[in-house]
Amino acid sequence: MIVLQGGDELTKKTLYIIDGFAHIFRSFYAIKHIDNNAVYGFTMFLKKLLETENPDYIVVAMDSKEPSFRSQLYKPYKANRQAPPEPLVRQIPLVQEAIEAFGIRAIEKPGYEADDIMGTLAREAVNHDVQAVLVTGDKDLLQLVKGDQIVYHDPNKGNLFLKEQDVPGFFGCKANQIVDLLSIWGDASDNIPGVPGVGEKGAKSLIEQYGDIETIYENLDQIKRKAYRAGFEKARDSIELMKTLVTIKTDLNLEFDLESMKRPQWNQPCLIEFFKKMGFKSLIEQTHVVLSAIAKDYPLVNSESDLESWLNRIRQTGSVFFDLETSSLTPHDAQIAGISFALGAGDACYIPLRHKGTDQAWTDLAESKLKSLFEEPGILKCAHNLKYDYSVLTARGWNVSGPFDDSMLMSYLLEPRQNRHGLDYLAEHLLNYQTITFESVCGKGKDQIAFNELTAEQAVNYAAEDSDIGFQLWKRFQPQIEQRHLSAVYRDIERDLIPVLAKMELNGVLIDTDYLKNLHDVLEDQIAVLQGEIYALAGEEFNIKSPKQLGVIMFEKCGLPALGKTAKTKSYSTKQEVLEKLAARGYELPALLLQYRSLTKLQSTYVDKLPSMVHPQTGRIHSNFNQILTETGRLSSDNPNLQNIPIRTNWGRKIREAFIARPGYVLLAADYSQIELRLLAHFSEDPTLVKGFLTGEDIHRRTASEIFDTELSEVTDDQRRMAKSINFGLIYGMGAFRLSQELGITRKMATSYMETYFSKMKKVPEFTDRLIAETRQSGEVRTLFGRVREIPEIQSRNKSLQARGERLAVNTLIQGTAAELIKLAMINLDRALTEMNSKAVILMQVHDELVLECPLEEADRVARCLVETMETVLSLSVPLSVDVGRGPNWKEAKA
């Protein structure tokens, strides 16, 4: 799994494109004194990649035997290279056999190099909405890196992953400048001369100053070094050829078939045979590890006596692993086709309820007995993704009682960097077992039937296997949770949060669709006004949503300074970051474009989309709260994404106004005040911060007083604003450069402010330095409640990745602990409302805020309960403070 800058995780499917010969050569020279060392090393590399990175698709790009088109253009190309040693040449066919045994597709194309194949496959992957990962140690391929869509990965350098914004810190220039850099610098290994007299350092300096070769030639007379000017004059006729030689092609005529590149199972018989042939005994043993306990034919429970027998066994055991088979992924719509149980490895059954030929009398009888079991307290109910099963049963009127366990949550806590915790994936990855596929039971495409259209006999093995596998994963994870000291965060927070989140999702929230229709019209008018102003500044009408047309208008017609070009099309970059930088310089057009993009996004994402999300039965929208996506432990949401609704903008507040209370009810909104700063004070024990929170001072005003050496009463609003940026910037690893940009001051001044801050609040840098050192030593950081996050970046030799790891260490402790506090508050609040017999319900959790729907007559006591519960959730060295509001809609409640 890939983690991006800031800790965000990639959720797209991935295609890993392996630079074949690069890894064959590396294996040959890295492993000594072993027969067939290149084969063994490459095989181990593939095995580890499949196990640790878990690609959805994988392919190996190979150089062809035929001369490259580059050799035809320039005969000296790679002419200086010696032939590979005979022992390596002898092993190449065996490596190709290994690739085939793994079931991985290998691609080569006469006249082209592996780099060109990789470039073309990467481009096609992006076109198919699949993320491309270039697995190589060849830095030339950095020129292909694009955003987080095409990522560079060198598994031999601290498991290095680079996206586009990481390239400058690693290579010394932007990804879209690498071709020009290499054209100037040359490449001795490929016998490409470059510009005479200009080496690596000079090439990087010139590219940094001028941006590209064309601009260098336009300003050749301005270059101070005579040798550089002479070199460029000499290379004037050959520079385009150099660019052609170093440019990786992305437009080869290749068959791009994702199905043929699907991640293979690596326990296929042909692979075992290959390992036997090569004498790789340890690999044979590992490959033969399979689930011997999996039953092939599970019992079908379709009589009262058999059902009673299973229910008695469950009650005697005191626990059961279960799984529902349903007709829909939406709990409100889901009909239960059947329930499977597992009491041991291979000891599982399936109880059909609604299948083809199922008798209604049996369905009624079985459901009644099953309902009693699930409502019985004291029996441990375990499932994989329990929130869904709990929601389905609750929606059908079952009052499901705990205690509970969830093997998917356990998997997430043990491997938070991993973004796949589904049952099928874990069975294959951890148990080396291939589960029965839905398609093999229900068919594919137009011939596929619904699961409940199967007979019970056709459904039994598919359904019971889920509980069997889930049980074995659950038993595997239990001791690991204990060994990793994760019991507290699992038991006291994540597990107990499941029913709370399920009820929130089932509650849903009411939306004022008429208001949104009116807001659509208002937005349309505002967007039209902005469009007119943009056209007026541009002097013509054009497609504002076209980056290419917009680039021409901004940088050619209007003469704004271009801040970069796209890697693929070489057209002007008009991305958000570019517009923000230009707007900060006072240019009106990019400022209007930012407003335009913001409003059109809000319109399409919320104003127009929310009404379509209203459930026809409930009349409310039911957001999904994700518990297993972020490494810090923060909740996220989708359908809709509540976290992305702007908080501080006027239009964001207008969208919040659409979230309303039902008649006779009111919305209560409570959020923690400066929770992350309070945690910073608690962890650092800095006396200034601690005193400020204990005395109830405005902490930003207190910080400003310290930084600017000013009496508290004389601190200006501008000084407070700067102090606030510094306070929060520390948590997110903000440096002097970014602070200067945010505050609109010089970098020197920003550095001075930060130095003063650290000198006045010495305990803060002491704490962060200590935390970073501990994290570098252990490679991981733990939150207050014991959640673990591995941060391998902090141990990297790459300075850019190392700095990112340091930011993640501080951010994870603070943000992760804050997330745990509000989760614990949600659990306690849910219990308190139950004990009060209140009709109030929790609707939403957004960052540090909880939103409830409450009867008008209960508003005062529920608000008091809400504040008390949140403020007393944990005793820290500084008090927790909660602001609460109420109103007919979310906007007014937040105010």
How far lies 191's CA from each of 63, 75, 139, 230, 701, in Å?
18, 10, 16, 21, 62
In the predicted structure, residue 4 carries a pLDDT above the cut 60 = no
> Residue 568 corresponds to which tokens in the numbers above?
């693929």
- What pLDDT does residue 266 have? 60
Three-state SS sequence of 797-833? CCHHHHHHHHHHHHHHHHHHHHHHHHHHHHHHHHHHH
Of 241-250, 272-281, 590-599, the poorest mean pLDDT is in: 272-281
Angstrom distance (rounded) from CA 242 to CA 70? 10
Answer left, alpha or beta for residue 793, where phi above 0 means left and psi between -120 and 50 means alpha: alpha
Helix, strand or coil for residue 655? helix
CB within 8 A of 822, min separation 6: which ones?
672, 675, 845, 848, 850, 870
Can you tell me the mean pLDDT for 603-614? 94
Neighbours of 16 (CB within 10 A): 25
Binned at pLDDT 50, 70 and 90, residue 596 comes out as very high
Q: Which residue has the higher pLDDT, 284 or 332?
A: 332
Q: What is the pTM of this model?
A: 0.71
The token pair that represents 178 in the structure block:
């690498």
Does 640 sit behind a cis peptide bond, omega within 30 degrees of 0 on the bond before it?
Answer: yes
What's the pLDDT score for residue 285?
A: 62
The token duo for 441 is 């039971």
173-247 in CATH: which number?
Answer: 1.10.150.20
pLDDT of residue 708: 87
pLDDT at 33: 67
Q: What percent of the chain has pLDDT over 90?
A: 61
Question: What distance in Å separates the CA atoms of residue 526 and residue 277, rounded to the nearest whole number?
Answer: 71
Dihedral sign from CA coordinates of 251, 253, 254, 257: positive
Per-residue confidence (pLDDT) for residue 267, from 0 to 100: 56
Residue 161 has a CB neighbour count (10 Å cut-off) of: 23
Higher pLDDT, 42 or 432: 42
Give me the chain's average pLDDT, please.
90
pLDDT tens-digit profile of 517-574? Answer: 999 999 999 999 999 999 999 999 999 988 889 989 999 899 888 876 665 556 788 8
CA separation for the pair 240, 93 (Å, rounded): 37
If we measure between CA atoms, which residue out of 453, 489, 437 comes closest to residue 632? 489
Nearest to 297 by CA among 430, 476, 464: 464
Say if residues 62 and 110 touch (Cβ distance below 8 Å).
no
User: Hey, is 200 helix, strand or coil?
Assistant: helix
* pLDDT bucket at 659, cuts 50 / 70 / 90: very high
For 768-824, write each residue's pLDDT tens digit: 999 999 999 999 999 999 999 999 889 887 888 888 999 999 999 999 999 999 999
Pick the CATH number of 513-616 from 3.40.50.2020, 1.10.940.10, 3.40.50.970, 1.20.1060.10: 1.20.1060.10
Domain boundaries, the chain: 1-171+252-282, 173-247, 304-507, 513-616, 677-810
Mean pLDDT of 615-633: 94
CATH superfamily membership of 677-810:
5' to 3' exonuclease, C-terminal subdomain (1.10.150.20)
| Residue 370 pLDDT | 98
Three-state secondary-structure class, residue 639: coil
As a residue count, the chain comes to 895
Mean pLDDT over 253-278 rounds to 82
In the predicted structure, residue 11 carries a pLDDT above the cut 60: no
Query: How many CB atoms are located within 10 Å of the residue 443 CB?
Result: 12
Q: How confident is the model at residue 287 (pLDDT cuts 50, 70, 90)?
A: low
Q: How far apart are CA 682 and CA 675, in angstroms?
A: 10
Residue 730 confidence (pLDDT) above 90: no
Please give the pLDDT value at position 269: 67
Please check the confidence at residue 158 and state whether its pLDDT lies above 80: no
For residue 815, CA distances in Å to 9, 675, 722, 787, 807 come to 16, 9, 22, 12, 12
Q: Is pLDDT of 156 > 90? A: no
Q: Residue 112: which of 69, 160, 144, 156 has the closest Cα?
A: 69
pLDDT in tens, 481-510: 999 999 999 999 999 999 999 999 999 999
Token pair recorded at residue 409: 């949550």
CATH architecture of 304-507: 2-Layer Sandwich (3.30)
Q: What is the pLDDT of residue 800?
A: 84
Overall average pLDDT of the 206-217 stretch = 90
How far is C-alpha 891 from the chain's CA centre? 29
DSSP lists the bridge partners of residue 105 as 59
Confidence of residue 291 (pLDDT cuts 50, 70, 90): very low
Q: Report pLDDT for 20.
A: 92
Query: In sequence order, which residues have a C-beta less than 8 Å from that of residue 741 and are 6 or more positions away?
Result: 584
Give 446-455's long-range contacts (Cβ < 8 A, gap of 24+). 450/327, 451/325, 451/326, 451/327, 451/337, 452/325, 452/327, 452/335, 452/337, 452/354, 452/355, 452/356, 453/355, 453/356, 454/355, 454/356, 455/355, 455/356, 455/357
Q: Is pLDDT at 749 greater than 90 in this prediction?
A: no
What confidence tens digit (pLDDT) does each residue in 695-709 have?
A: 988 889 988 888 888
Report how far residue 51's alpha carbon sits from residue 429's, in angstroms, rounded to the nearest whole number: 7
| DSSP-based three-state secondary structure for 761 | coil
The conformational region for residue 424 under phi > 0 = left, psi -120 to 50 = alpha, else beta, is alpha
pLDDT in tens, 840-883: 999 999 989 999 999 999 999 999 999 999 999 999 999 999 99
Rounded percentage of the chain residues whose pLDDT exceeds 70: 96
Residues 664-690 have pLDDT tens digits of 999 999 999 999 999 999 999 999 899
Confirm whether 173-247 and 677-810 share one CATH topology: yes
Residue 224: closest CA among 210, 242, 211: 210
Angle, CA 293 vertex, CA 291 and CA 295 arms, to 5° = 110
- For residue 647, pLDDT beyond 70: yes
Q: What is the mean pLDDT of residues 713-730?
A: 86
The yes/no answer on whether domain 1-171+252-282 falls in CATH 3.40.50.1010 is yes
Which residues make Cβ contacts (< 8 Å) with residue 864, sequence separation at least 6? none
